[in-house]
Amino acid sequence: MLARRHLRPRFNRQRLELPDGDFLDLDWTGPEDSGRPLVLVLHGLEGSSQSHYVRGLCSVLSNASFRSCVMHYRGCSGDINRLPRTYHAGETGDPDFVIGWLRHHYPGVALFAVGFSLGGNMLLKLLGEQAGSCVLSGAAAVSVPFDLASCAERLEKGTSRIYQHWLVSAMKKTARQKATQYPGRLDINRLLETTTFREFDELGTAPLHGFAGARDYYAKDSCRQYLPQITTRTLIVQSHDDPFIEAVQIPKEQELGPGVHLELAARGGHLGFVTGPLPGCTEYWLERRLTVFFTHLTGEFN
């Protein structure tokens, strides 16, 4: 079995100009046939097409004759974006624009989307906002932070603080770039002293994106409140041992919209989902599960 570190799909980059004067970078991989089913991939916080979970999924999808399009959030492709803003967990305008662009340019294909972690929250919020008007043939979300405030609190406890430290440090690098690009838009000295998501979001994410503060951001952007409205065929994959998410955060069946199916794994961590006894013999089963799901829906679409 192939470990994810060996999966190196070859991506072709396309820059998509946005109506507000900014841009998004899309990385494409898979069969050259533009008539093949297409999956839009939304990565996690500070991720990219080079994130291990993205490479793994795109490789398996390619082997199954799917095309993949990885949407980099503003500032995540390696090139800093033009505007003062970047991205946040409830940013649905950008993926909505890309989905519309893909549907316009590939009108006859089965079009799917998958979101990982922050990207999962983003996608589920979008599906709930659009309810029955969504043009996607199906969707999937993995390791979703359903309640952002609760996740921020969880990451301040125990070994979860290791993940928090790594991610907040990565976010500070982006903040430094923005402070240089737009002097005075951020209190960069205070921002660089933050140690938690809540502190960073209060001083960075919220003021850059028009929120009153971290509490306002978490309340408005958490996807859990949008789940009942989802009618698009959607698979959510979560694990009981996710260090980002308390078990109480996982939504109950009655909270899910008519199109949603939730699968809970006993183990999987955050974007892990590994099986196999020894290093080198492990397999990331998530990619196969998502590919089977999209393959099944493609049959229904056709």
Same domain, 13 and 124: yes
Told to judge if 242 belongs to the known catalytic residues of this protein, a careful annotator would answer yes
Specify the number of domains making up the chain: 2
Pick the catalytic residue: 117, 137, 150, 222? 117
Same domain, 19 and 96: yes
Work out the average pLDDT over 52-71: 96
Q: Is residue 190 scored above 80 in pLDDT?
A: yes
Q: Are strands 38-42 and 12-17 parallel, antiparallel or unpaired?
A: unpaired
Q: Residue 15 has what DSSP assignment? A: E
Pick the catalytic residue: 43, 72, 88, 270? 270
Assess contact for 72 and 27: CB atoms under 8 A.
yes
Same domain, 185 and 155: yes
Q: How far apart are CA 289 and CA 14, in angstroms?
A: 28
Same domain, 136 and 28: yes
Same domain, 230 and 126: yes
Q: Strand locations in the chain, DSSP E?
A: 12-17, 23-29, 38-42, 67-71, 111-116, 138-142, 234-239, 260-265, 274-275, 283-284
Same domain, 252 and 174: no
> For the chain, percent helix, then strand, then coil, each to nearest 5?
40, 15, 40
Q: Is residue 140 scored above 60 in pLDDT?
A: yes
Pick the catalytic residue: 25, 27, 147, 242? 242
Dihedral of CA atoms 39, 40, 43, 49 in degrees, nearest 10, equals 80
Q: How many alpha carbons fall within 13 Å on the CB side of residue 281?
A: 3
Q: Is residue 127 scored above 60 in pLDDT?
A: yes
Total number of residues shown for the chain: 302
Work out the average pLDDT over 56-60: 96
Q: Which distant-in-sequence residues (6+ apart) come within 8 Å of 157 by Cβ?
A: none
Under the banding of pLDDT at 50, 70 and 90, the label for residue 3 is very low
Q: Is residue 274 scored above 90 in pLDDT?
A: no
Work out the average pLDDT over 24-42: 96
Assess contact for 95 and 135: CB atoms under 8 A.
no
Q: How far apart are the first and last CA of the chain?
A: 31
89-124 pLDDT per residue, tens: 999 999 999 999 999 999 999 999 999 999 999 999
pLDDT of residue 30: 95
Same domain, 173 and 129: no
pLDDT of residue 14: 98
233-265 pLDDT per residue, tens: 999 999 999 999 988 889 999 999 998 999 999
pLDDT of residue 5: 47
Residues of the chain with pLDDT > 70: what percent? Answer: 94
Work out the average pLDDT over 220-238: 97
Told to judge if 94 belongs to the known catalytic residues of this protein, a careful annotator would answer no
Residue type, 176: R
Same domain, 38 and 121: yes
Q: How far apart are CA 120 and CA 81, in angstroms?
A: 22
* Surface-to-core class of residue 235, CB atoms within 10 Å of its CB (0-12 exposed, 13-18 middle, 19+ buried): buried
Query: Hey, what are 242's tokens?
Result: 């996710």
Same domain, 182 and 238: no
Same domain, 41 and 112: yes
Domain limit, last residue, from 199, 221, 243:
221
Q: Is residue 132 scored above 90 in pLDDT?
A: no
CATH (domain of 297) = 3.40.50.1820
Under the banding of pLDDT at 50, 70 and 90, the label for residue 300 is confident
Residue corresponding to tokens 């946040």:
88
Same domain, 111 and 142: yes
Domain that holds residue 174: 148-221
Told to judge if 117 belongs to the known catalytic residues of this protein, a careful annotator would answer yes
Domain limit, last residue, from 221, 256, 282:
221
Same domain, 83 and 229: yes
Query: Hey, what are 281's tokens?
Result: 């013999």
Assess contact for 253 and 149: CB atoms under 8 A.
no
Query: Hey, what are 192's tokens?
Result: 């660089």
Domain limit, last residue, from 221, 238, 257:
221
